[in-house]
Structure 1
Amino acid sequence: MSTNNDEADRALKARHQALWSLGDYPAVAAEVIPATGPRLVEACGIRAGQRVLDVGAGSGNAAIPAAQTGAEVIASDLAPALLDVGRQNAGRQGVTLEWQEADAEALPYADGEFDVVMSCVGVMFAPHHQAAADELVRVCRSGGTIGLLSWTPQGFIGQMFATMKPYAPPPPPGAQPPPLWGDEAHVRELLGDRVTDVDARKENLPVDRFGTPEDFRDFFKRTYGPTIAVYRNIAEDPDKVDALDRELADLARRQGETGAMEWEYLLVTATRAG
């Protein structure tokens, strides 16, 4: 018999699945942040013959470059719509890998099944951070690599979430803010003594996709699920819509009027302890 907690969790996951099916996240991955996937693959040292799991893989920003090394890759994500785009992308590039719908907080894989378990701005959006971290560790073999690339709270995307927060519906009970995965202390606490050789570094992603601050705002209003959801929440209040329009453009403008931006992320690699 289902408990209330089970039902609430299913409803929450359904909301997350719907969130990432809004707009056109694959356009964000392909046009704005394509360099993040190859950077994570490089940091993890992925090579031919390894068995690799990409958690929160989306449309394959990291999974496809991983498969291009000759590794055996599974791309998993809660949103099947993103996986469908990923399959098409891989097919166009002649890359073979598996695409599987899966919940980052309850991965359908055996203990120690993978040589590398990675996530590129994916697992950070799972609502319960410790549950997701426990799964990353569980499915990685002893001596294997865990690699994470996450937006920092202080960086541009972290600031964007802070800007949108007053206009967003209240988060579900127990859900934690995604940019916390970009805080080194938080990630170290999540992984604990189950990993060794932790390497954590902040890096910047150059972004030159947008000619003006308004171009950035309008692109994210059109393509990025979390931004679309926030605007839907305030759609009946034109004053709030206008205010958020101004605040998002101002956020981008603080990076400079030329359209050249730097988005900070935290890159973490660690070895699964024996």
Structure 2
Amino acid sequence: MTTKESHIDRTSHEPRDSFLPGQWLDLYYPPFPPNQKPGGFTITSSPYPPSPTLELAIQSPPSNTPISPPTQYLWTSPSSSLLNTKVKIRIGGSFTFPPSSIPLSNLKKVLFIAGGMGINPLMSMLGYLSNEKNQDYKTKIEVDVFYSVKEPERGLIPETTREILFLERISGLFAPYPDENGGLRGSVRLFATGSNQDQGNGEVNVSGVNIPVVRRRIRFSDIKEALGGDRENTAVYICGPPQMTDEFVEGLTSSGGLGIHVDRVLYEKWW
């Protein structure tokens, strides 16, 4: 997957609509015909610091595959035809951070679990947490990221990490900064699937941060271990394929599982 950030900047407007970390937008483009079906795109930028632009994750359309008109408009239109063009957007979505019923000050741990493209809405949440506006919370909240990806054909080496969507940016959020602000407190763990399973587990250096690599799918036992014993002050965000999402939500919230209150387990399914 790739993104079209240059087009993203040109499809925002000033003043920008407010949004919450994790939300999406519906986009309408000119000439705005009657009954136009909008295109839904996840917002990957953070609401803070305020900016007149929005960053969207837009998948590169595979060749010979039908794509929606809004995606085609953003991806294939010449830059000259998009520059200064006015579009209409509508913000929506309830998969947001922090949980609506839990103040950020009441959280001590947040676990983000992403399967493939499920990383998209989590990027806005991570960016929000890392902003200096939340400096007091950054030092108190432990943030862990489980990211399940398809391993590049050449393996996970520094030269191929750019092939994994947002990995360099995520790593940078956890890297220690040379000033007093510092990065997020916590860790990132990659779960890599593909043809290199025989290589075993290891780590890869991304933006100066050594990220553990586990060559298998995420297991519920990984989640249980990461959460530890303090589950009253925890929130878990899951975004990925339906089967993965259903399994983890059931294990986290059921009486036969960890029994975490449903208000603290938020999820969104990606097909």
Q: Structure 2-normalised TM-score?
A: 0.27
Structure index of larger Rg = 2
Q: Structure 1-normalised TM-score?
A: 0.27
Bigger helix fraction: 1
Q: Which has the higher contact order (CA 8 A, sep 6+)?
A: 1
